[in-house]
Amino acid sequence: MTIQVALVEDEELIRTMLKINLEREGYAVTAYEAAEPFLEEIEQRIFDIILMDIMLPGIHGDSALEKLRKNSITTPVLMLTVKQDTGTKVRAFDAGADDYLPKPFNMDELLARVRALIRRSQGEREIPAHHVIIINSRRVNLETRTVETPHGNEKLSDREAELLAYFARNPGKTLNRSDILDEVWGLDVDPTPRTVDNFVVRFRRLFEDDPEHPKYFITVRAAGYRFEK
Ligand code: CA
């Protein structure tokens, strides 16, 4: 499974350098120049780790992080900053940072810290470290497996929660039925591609205003499905 990294850094040179090095490690990197577009996107999208600069134009990194934690998003966060005073570090940890690295940093050390954070969070749970996503204004808590629909709360099965998490990790991408089966079902059982279709039918009933004309769980002919945020 490809690790999804969010990178929030306003300095172009550092952003580019980090993206190149993280991608070389095999991670999929989505880069943001500011906290605002990142905060908007993470409501509907799952990342495995977030690298965030503190000094950003607009909302600062530590305030952005506080917002995430208030919204029950527990994805590991590595904060970056040029300020090395104790106050800055304390604020970063108080805001909910898991680790902290002052600039200028050594790239090998940064990559090692990223690996450690990913290892730690993945050891704890099968579902990525991000418990709440919002699809069509309906909140999904992946930990309690609850969906708040306009008609009341609905429970997801473990497998449904895993499939939903897989979609949310790969927005906008066409996912083949066989890839979905490999990723979500693995070698556990022997499902048929039809199994995936049945799950998507349920997701459409839960999340679409008109399940006959889906806007979020899109059928890609002769391939599989695409999740749109
Ligand atoms: Ca900065």
**Ligand 1 midpoint to CA 106 (Å):** 17
Measured distance CA(202)–CA(207) in Å, rounded:
9
Distance from the CA of 8 to the center of ligand 1, in angstroms? 9
Question: Residue 124: what pLDDT?
Answer: 55
Give residue 94 CA to ligand 1 midpoint distance, Å.
Answer: 19
- Distance from residue 53's CA to the centre of ligand 1 (Å): 6
- CA dist 118 and 10 (Å) reads 23
* Ligand 1 center from residue 12 Cα (angstroms): 9
Across 111-140, b (16+ Cβ under 10 Å) vs e yields bebbeebbeebbeeeebbbbbbbbbeebbb
Q: Report CA 206 to chain centroid distance, whole Å.
A: 21
CA gap 225, 197 in Å, rounded: 9
pLDDT of residue 74: 86
Q: Which residues lie at CB < 5 A from ion ligand 1? A: 10, 53, 55
Q: Say yes or no to pLDDT of 129 above 60.
A: no
**Whole-angstrom distance, CA of residue 4 vs CA of residue 48:** 5
What pLDDT band is residue 2 in, cutting at 50, 70 and 90? Answer: confident
